[in-house]
Amino acid sequence: MKFIVSILLTALLAFVAGLFTQFPWWVFAISSFVVSALIPQAPGKSFLSGFLGLFLLWVILAIIKDAANEHILSTKVSQILPLGGSFIMLILITGIIGGLISGFAALTGAYLKKS
């Protein structure tokens, strides 16, 4: 139960921090750190909950924003990068990068809580 609450709380705090504040894009790492420090879990589960919370949030938000312009911009960006014009790969890579940052921040919070 703590795992699911941690995923949802990480996604919710990251969304709120990005939507209602003027902080830089990486403010979600701080929210992942705080969630992981407040909800005690094993370090592996903490990393996974931070990763999944932000990965799902960013992928869903990217799909919503990308569908609004019929994938025009993301297709052009994926043609510049070595992705073969696949906007889906671009969205997944975006989610993985955000998930890794959030996961490592959550892992740091878990280790801090453990020590």
pLDDT at 114: 80
Asked whether residue 61 carries a pLDDT value surpassing 90, the answer given is yes
Helices first, then strands: H and E counts in the chain = 5, 0
pLDDT at 25: 85
Smallest CA-to-CA distance from 106 within 57, 45, 47 is with 47
pLDDT at 22: 84
pLDDT at 20: 81
Q: Give the SS3 label for residue 5.
A: helix
How far apart are the C-alpha atoms of 26 and 31, rounded to whole Å? 10
- pTM given for the model: 0.90
pLDDT at 79: 93
pLDDT in tens, 8-20: 999 999 999 888 8
pLDDT in tens, 4-50: 999 999 999 999 988 887 888 888 899 999 999 999 999 999 999 99
Q: Say if residues 95 and 62 touch (Cβ distance below 8 Å).
A: yes
Look over the chain and give the mean of its residue pLDDT values, rounded to a whole number. Answer: 93
Structure tokens at 92: 């997944």
Smallest CA-to-CA distance from 38 within 89, 95, 109, 104 is with 109
